[in-house]
Amino acid sequence: MAAGMVSLAIYSGRIGYDLLLGGELLEKQGRLAAARALYERGIAQRPDDAASAHLQYRLAMLHRGEGDADATRAAFANIVTTYTKRPDLVARAQRFLTALDRAKPDARRHIVPEITTRTEFKSAYCMPNSLALVIRYWGVPLTARQIGRDVTMMDVGTTVSDASWYVQTNGLEQWLMPLASIDNIRRFLDQDLPLLVYVPHHVLVVIGYDDALQSLVTYDVATEQIWIDQPIDEFLPKWRGEFAVIGVVLPPSRFATLPRELRSDLERWTRAYLHHDLHYQYHQSSDPVDLRRALAHLQTSVEAAPDLFFDVAHVAVRPRWAHARRAELFRADALGAAAESGLAFTRYDFDSDEPLREIAVLNLELGRYDTLQRFLEDRAKDGSLKLHPDLESLLGLLKYRADDMEGAVAHLGSLADDRRFPSVLGRAFERTNALESAIAEYGHVVELTDAPNEEMDPHESMLETLKRLARRRQSSQLFFAPRTPSLHARAQAMRRISDLAERLGDSDRIIAAARTYLEAFRWDADIELRYAEAVETKLARQSDLPHDAQEDLRRELTRAAAFAAVLDVNGRRRDRVASVGAASSALTSP
């Protein structure tokens, strides 16, 4: 090791930095006393501030692990006050100093004893390294390199079911607990049981906790130091995004010592979550055979553990499974429980978009509008709803349903055009007397021509609209975005523009919107007539227009009046048609 460090120093010429690298390598190998000696030698070399901050931070964490509170505080304080060239370490040191000051004197730091492994530094090796740590803890002498080679030969990856299958081949079992809590993690660690923790596209091992630092001690090959304290509030959003799954790997004899109720729960949760995991390989397929396989896995999961709300919601809200699912698994009481527990779990530290939309749809289907609105309002208050524009638009619709027009304007008006429901927003603007804004939104309805489906039907109740807009019948995608307006909806918007523009005395608005509308719908007699009347009004009021502009408007009035007369086949608009016809004749006569 010493020779290696000399060669490093000669190569870089920065002895303090080289000692830091050497100490980190020793830490990753579990040789903590040797690592501390190198860090102390590195500090004695008086390296630059950035390297000094890093050395002090590693020493602080080693001191904390040894229970030396004074040395821990001193090292953190050095980073905050003196070695400030690493803002990330300064922030972390300040966080931990504050936590130490607030902690009770007997705040516990517990780490599973005698747990270590040699890390294999290869890309995408989180599963082999993590499995090696927990498997070796139970006396199975496999290295990450061996596991990586086996995994490659078996063509498996880093999923929960892959890990379960692999540990079984080595005489162990992985027991799974979805929707777990930090208290669950602590209880297992107090029994000296290391835990596999699954986050999106990654797995790590939790080997301890620190009540003073409010952290979990982890072995995470995706981090710079690998053996690190992760603040719990930073850990939670990543972990909960994968439904807060922990895996405890045990030999059969150790599993038998767990309390009977816990063993029973672990057995059904494991069966359920493995089937949940296995359905993903068919998740995006449109092949009918794959869809049946996915449904079979999901229904097995629901049958084993109906308290896992995410699979209940996933099956219940998908139209493609409406006639194939087993009715006894999706009774009203089961759906209600899933809707309630889903909102409770996803309220904080959860931003996985698809499950959020599924839970929202399930609550809509069950008529839990007020409960869902409160949930979305709470997320809007803490800023987390901004990550989900579909749900932001849904909250705007629920506000409109509740006759809260200012709330509807605030949420729908903050969204991009493809999420804002212009016909609803226009009506909300009208109700708040923001007529100019209402005209602009109705103008969007008139102009929309290329969105993928239909807008709101003005005669449909808001409750039915919410249910309908929550799902796309021909696919698995859930959404709350507006769609291309129907002819009727666009005509309604055109009429609202006409009414509001008339109140504002603005014939130009009517003319512009009507032209756009009539380019697509030439046979709408009402709009053609309104267009002719607006042209007549403009000619009468704006006599100072340039001669060429007046001539263009006269020709347009003549054409529109004649076409309106042709379209009025049943004579319902006879008087209005006659009026614009007379105006046309008067304005165009010599």
* String of DSSP letters for 140-173: ----HHHHHHHHHHHT--SSHHHHHHHHHTTT-E
- 98 plus 131 within the same structural domain: no
Residue 110 in domain: no
Tell which residue, 172, 169, 112, has the closest CA to residue 138.
Answer: 172
Res 271: pLDDT: 97
pLDDT above 60 (res 471): no
Torsions phi, psi for 108 (to 5 deg):
-95, 145
pLDDT above 70 (res 129): yes
Residue 84 in domain: yes
Residue 304 in domain: yes
Residue 479 in domain: no
- Residue 212's CB is within 10 A of a number of other CB atoms, namely 20
pLDDT classification of 508: cutoffs 50, 70, 90? confident
Q: Which of 12-16, 219-223, 265-269 has the lowest mean pLDDT?
A: 12-16
- 240 plus 348 within the same structural domain: no
Between 489 and 87, the higher pLDDT residue? 87
Residue type, 235: F
Question: What is the distance between the alpha carbons of residues 398 and 283, in angstroms, rounded to a whole number?
Answer: 30
Contact (Cβ atoms closer than 8 angstroms) between residue 243 and residue 310? yes
pLDDT digit string, tens, across residues 141-165: 998 888 888 876 555 556 788 889 8
Residue type, 227: W
- 169 plus 85 within the same structural domain: no
pLDDT classification of 464: cutoffs 50, 70, 90? low
The structural domain count of the chain equals 4
- Residue 133's CB is within 10 A of a number of other CB atoms, namely 25
What's the whole-number average pLDDT of the chain? 85
Residue 276 in domain: no
- 157 plus 243 within the same structural domain: yes
What average pLDDT does range 486-498 have in this prediction? 80
Res 457: pLDDT: 47
| CATH number for position 344 | 1.25.40
| Residue 95, burial from CB neighbour count under 10 angstroms (0-12, 13-18, 19+) | middle
- 199 plus 249 within the same structural domain: yes
Range ranked top by mean pLDDT from 23-27, 41-45, 171-175: 171-175
Range of the domain at 153: 126-258
Residue at which a domain ends, from 258, 273, 295: 258
In this structure, what token pair is assigned to residue 281? Answer: 């390989």
- 230 plus 346 within the same structural domain: no
Residue 494 in domain: no
Annotate 528-556 with three-state secondary structure. Answer: HHHHHHHHHHHHHHCCCCCHHHHHHHHHH
Contacts (Cβ under 8 Å, ≥6 apart) of 369: 363, 398, 401, 463, 466
- 313 plus 452 within the same structural domain: yes
Res 474: pLDDT: 41
Question: Phi-psi bin for 586: left (phi > 0), alpha (psi -120 to 50), beta?
Answer: alpha
Between 470 and 552, the higher pLDDT residue? 552
Question: What is the distance between the alpha carbons of residues 63 and 57, in angstroms, rounded to a whole number?
Answer: 10
pLDDT classification of 458: cutoffs 50, 70, 90? very low
Res 263: pLDDT: 96
Q: Compute CA distances 153 → 10, 162, 166, whole Å.
A: 41, 13, 12
Residue 416 in domain: yes
- 162 plus 70 within the same structural domain: no
pLDDT classification of 4: cutoffs 50, 70, 90? very low
Handedness of CA 176, 182, 186, 187 (dihedral sign): negative
Q: Which of 193-202, 419-428, 465-474 has the lowest mean pLDDT?
A: 465-474
pLDDT above 80 (res 103): yes
What average pLDDT does range 482-502 have in this prediction? 79
Contacts (Cβ under 8 Å, ≥6 apart) of 574: 568
pLDDT above 80 (res 202): yes
Range ranked top by mean pLDDT from 113-117, 230-234, 552-556: 230-234
Residue at which a domain ends, from 437, 469, 501: 469
- 188 plus 142 within the same structural domain: yes
pLDDT digit string, tens, across residues 290-316: 989 999 999 999 999 999 999 999 999
Residue at which a domain ends, from 469, 487, 510: 469
- 133 plus 93 within the same structural domain: no
Res 479: pLDDT: 63
Res 420: pLDDT: 83
- Residue 459's CB is within 10 A of a number of other CB atoms, namely 8
Res 461: pLDDT: 58
pLDDT above 90 (res 412): yes
pLDDT digit string, tens, across residues 185-194: 999 999 999 9
- 224 plus 137 within the same structural domain: yes
What average pLDDT does range 170-184 have in this prediction? 96
Res 298: pLDDT: 95
Res 522: pLDDT: 79
| CATH number for position 173 | 3.90.70.10
pLDDT above 60 (res 456): no
Contact (Cβ atoms closer than 8 angstroms) between residue 519 and residue 554? no
Contact (Cβ atoms closer than 8 angstroms) between residue 61 and residue 229? yes
Res 452: pLDDT: 42
pLDDT classification of 473: cutoffs 50, 70, 90? very low
- 301 plus 423 within the same structural domain: yes
pLDDT above 60 (res 3): no
pLDDT above 60 (res 12): no
pLDDT digit string, tens, across residues 318-354: 878 888 888 899 999 999 999 999 999 999 889 888 8
Between 563 and 458, the higher pLDDT residue? 563
